[in-house]
Amino acid sequence: MATASLTEYLFFSGLLFAIGLAGVIIRRNIIVIFMCLEMMLAAASLTLVAFSRAHTEMNHGLPDYDGQMLVFFIITVAAAEVAVGLAIIVALYRARKTISTDTLTTLKN
Amino acid sequence: MPTILFYLFAILTIAGGICVVALKNPVSSAMGMIGSFIGIAALLIGLNAYFVGTLQVLVYAGAIMVLFIFIIMLLDLKKEEGKEFSNGSLAAGIFIPLLFVLITLPILSSVKADFPKLDKAALIAAEVDLPFTEVPETSAIRNKLIDGQLPDVNLIGQKLFTDYNFPLQVVAVLLLVATVGCVTLSKKLHGDEPETDADDRMAKTLARSSAIPQVSIHAMGSVAEETPKVSNEPVEQVELSLDAEPEVKAEEPLAESAKQDEKLGLIYEDRPDYADDLVIINGVGPVLEDKLNSFGVYTFKQIANWSPENVAEFDDLLSFKGRIDRDNWISQAAELYSNKNK
């Protein structure tokens, strides 16, 4: 049976990253922007794992687990980042009563 | 991973991603995100990264998305809808990612790099290849490889606790710092109520002001039955103002420090006892409240009675550009004031 190749995985990751980027630029709701950032991180992780799987031959015939280690740490850091980021958003909402980036323009002028 | 399964999960992931970007309701966005993460987890498992795929489901689709949905529910974001997508950002948000996709397109036309085989024969051969200095004999890794299985978790564990031991401990410190940070950030500020719902805050303010007898002649009517210890204080005064119309200025027992200013409307020189929590008004934060107080504005009623000239003056003083009108302070204040008098 034909299997998906590295090129397909890489292009797919790029596409997912682009969708996340579009979300970050278009959306005005900070929480949704944050979700799109997570999507970009996940797309990058997928690339790392795809390369880890592709480098099997250089690693005694097993996947190269250095790439997966990096993904492991990315997931950990992302979890911590989400916790702190959402705490900041809640604090912001408490102070300003809005989380739309259109109205949060204190630094603009 | 068979190509058909790859495309199935790839489409699920992309569809989820598009839902996140396109749907206006943040809860729908979060649901699309969960679908997207599950698709990514399936793709990871298709890459023989079973442990990372499981982590993806547990941490991303589980913990992180629950946290997101929890916060969305907590913040009550209904009023944010409809303000999305301005034309400029829509154009930039389509053009820049499109450019990115155009850059990644040549990958598809490059040489098709197939993944090396990882079947039973390849795994048994890998066991022979594995140096004994790295993985000792009769270890779980070798036993599984001899059986023709990929010891994914064992290999990750070995890597994590040997080569990546120091980063692992640094991550532990990072998590600790993040925990402390969250606690500090969500600690309530002095006098700031943790409730985000304006009505809840209103109720709190009412209850608080009713605890101080001479403060809330207007609020007392509604709360007097529930707080009997208050009612032996200035009862006659309560009855006087209970049937008063909120619009009539004379009914409000004006403090001595109150005076009518031509530009600023009614202002108080000192903080009156019945000062309101102005932060309840949408658009007024603690900083603005301090500023307003410094100009002598302490109550909803003052704001509700502002004339257009007053508004213009305050716009200048607070260096806003029409924010008072935009956030509708006056009608908000009038409503809050009438609620308070119920």
Amino acid residing at A65: Y
Residues 64-93 on A with a CB inside 8 Å of B are 65-66, 68-69, 71-73, 75-84, 86-91, 93
For residue B116, the chain A residues in CB contact (below 8 A) are 54, 56-57, 61
| Contact call for residues B44 and A47 (beta carbons, < 8 A) | no
Confidence of residue B168 (pLDDT cuts 50, 70, 90): very high
The answer to whether the CB atoms of B80 and A99 lie below 8 A apart is: yes
> Do residues B135 and B159 make contact, with C-beta atoms less than 8 angstroms apart?
no
Mean predicted lDDT score pLDDT of chain B: 76
Q: Determine, for residues B174 and A7 on separate chains, whether the beta-carbon distance falls below 8 Å.
A: no
Task: Assess if residue A8 is contained within a domain.
Answer: no
Q: How far, in Å, CA of B30 to CA of B23, rounded? A: 10
Residues 6+ apart with CB under 8 A from B194: A94, B188
User: To probe the interface with B, which of A52, A89, A97 has the most B CB atoms within 10 Å?
Assistant: A97
Check if the beta carbon of residue B297 is closer than 8 Å to that of residue B303.
Answer: yes
Provide the CATH topology of domain B3-76.
Four Helix Bundle (Hemerythrin (Met), subunit A) (1.20.120)
- The answer to whether residue A12 sits within a structural domain is no
Which secondary-structure segment (H or E) carries A10?
helix A6-26
Regions of chain A short of the pLDDT cut 70 = 1-2, 59, 109
pLDDT at B13: 95
What are the residue ranges spanned by the domains of chain B? 3-76, 120-186, 198-341
Q: What is the pLDDT of residues B96-137, one digit of tens each?
A: 999 999 998 888 887 777 788 777 778 877 777 777 777 777
User: In the prediction, which pLDDT does B174 show?
Assistant: 94
Integer Cα distance of B113 and B107 in angstroms:
10
Give how far Cα A67 sits from Cα of A38, A44, A49, A71, Å. Answer: 19, 11, 6, 7
For B44-78, give one letter per residue: b (16+ CB within 10 A) or e: bbbbbbebbbebbbebbbeebbeebbebbeebebe
pLDDT tens by residue, A59-74: 677 888 899 999 999 9
Q: Could you tell me if residue A22 is inside a domain? A: no
User: Whole-angstrom Cα distance, residue A36 to residue B97?
Assistant: 13
8 Å CB contact of B86 and A28: yes
B129 closest CB neighbour out of A61, A91, A93: A61
Kindly state the percentage of chain B with pLDDT values over 70: 75
Instruction: Report the gap between the CA of B244 and the closest CA in chain A (Å).
Output: 32
Look at residue B79 in the predicted model and tell me its pLDDT. 56
Rounded Cα–Cα distance for residues B267 and B297 (Å): 6
How far is it, in rounded angstroms, from Cα B320 to Cα B327? 11
Rounded to an integer, the average pLDDT of B270-299 is: 79
Q: What is the dihedral of CA B5, B6, B12, B13, to 10 degrees?
A: 150
Cβ–Cβ gap A60/B30 under 8 Å: no
Residue of B30, B93, B167 lying closest to A35 (CB–CB): B30
pLDDT at position A14 is: 94
> Rounded distance, CA B41 to CA B54, Å?
7
- Provide the ipTM: 0.92
Contact state of B68 with A34 under an 8 Å Cβ cutoff = yes
| Residues constituting chain B | 342
Predicted confidence at residue B239, as pLDDT, reads 45
| Distance (Å) from the alpha carbon of A41 to chain B's nearest alpha carbon | 11
Residues near B274 by Cβ (< 8 Å), separated by ≥ 6? B209, B215, B216, B217, B218, B299
d(CA B237, nearest CA chain A) in Å: 35
Alpha-carbon distance B173 to nearest alpha carbon in chain A (angstroms): 11
Check CB contact under 8 Å for B47 and A94.
Answer: no
Over range B136-147, report the average pLDDT.
80
The whole-number average pLDDT for the span B11-40 is 92
More confident residue, A76 or B329: A76
How far apart (Å, rounded) are the C-alpha atoms in residues B51 and B43? Answer: 12
A8 at interface of B, judged by CB pairs closer than 8 A = yes
Quick check: A101 contacting B, CB < 8 Å? no
pLDDT tens readout for residues B217-250: 444 444 444 444 444 444 444 444 444 444 444 4
Q: Which of B4, B21, B196 to mutate to test the interface with A (most CBs of A within 10 A)?
A: B21
User: What pLDDT score was predicted for residue A84?
Assistant: 93
User: B178–A99: do the CB atoms touch at under 8 Å?
Assistant: no
Q: State how many domains chain A has.
A: 1
Indicate whether A5 belongs to any domain: no
A47 touches A13 (CB < 8 A): yes
The residue-averaged pLDDT of B55-66 equals 90
Between chain A and chain B, the number of residue pairs with CB atoms below 8 A apart is: 280
Task: Find the CB nearest B64 among A3, A28, A38.
Answer: A38
Range name among B85-89, B94-98, B257-261, B328-332 with the lowest pLDDT average: B257-261
The answer to whether residue A94 sits within a structural domain is yes
Asked if pLDDT for residue B21 goes beyond 50, the answer is: yes
Q: What is the pLDDT of residue B241?
A: 45
- The DSSP H or E segment spanning B260 is strand B258-261
Residue B295 has pLDDT above 70, yes or no: yes
CB contact under 8 A, B40 and A2: no
* Per-residue pLDDT band at B83 (split at 50, 70, 90): low
Of B3, B60, B196, nearest to A2 by CB-CB distance is B3
Q: How close A39 comes to chain B (CA, Å)? A: 8
Residue with tokens 């000062």: B275
CA distance A91 to chain B (A): 6
Q: What is the pLDDT of residue A73?
A: 94
Give the nearest partner residue to A29 out of B2, B26, B105, using CB atoms: B26
Choice between A1 and B268, residue whose per-residue pLDDT is larger: B268
Q: What is the pLDDT of residues B310-321, one digit of tens each?
A: 887 777 777 766
Min Cα–Cα distance to chain A from B263, Å: 26
- What confidence category does residue B82 fall into, taking pLDDT thresholds of 50, 70 and 90? low
Measured CA to CA, the distance from residue B69 to residue B31 in angstroms comes to: 9
Cβ B96–A50 below 8 Å, yes or no?
A: no
Chain B residues near residue A17 by CB distance under 8 angstroms: 100
Is A9 inside a domain boundary?
Answer: no
Q: Where are the alpha helices (DSSP H) in B47-112?
A: 50-55, 65-75, 87-104, 106-109
Q: Which domain holds residue A109?
A: 30-109
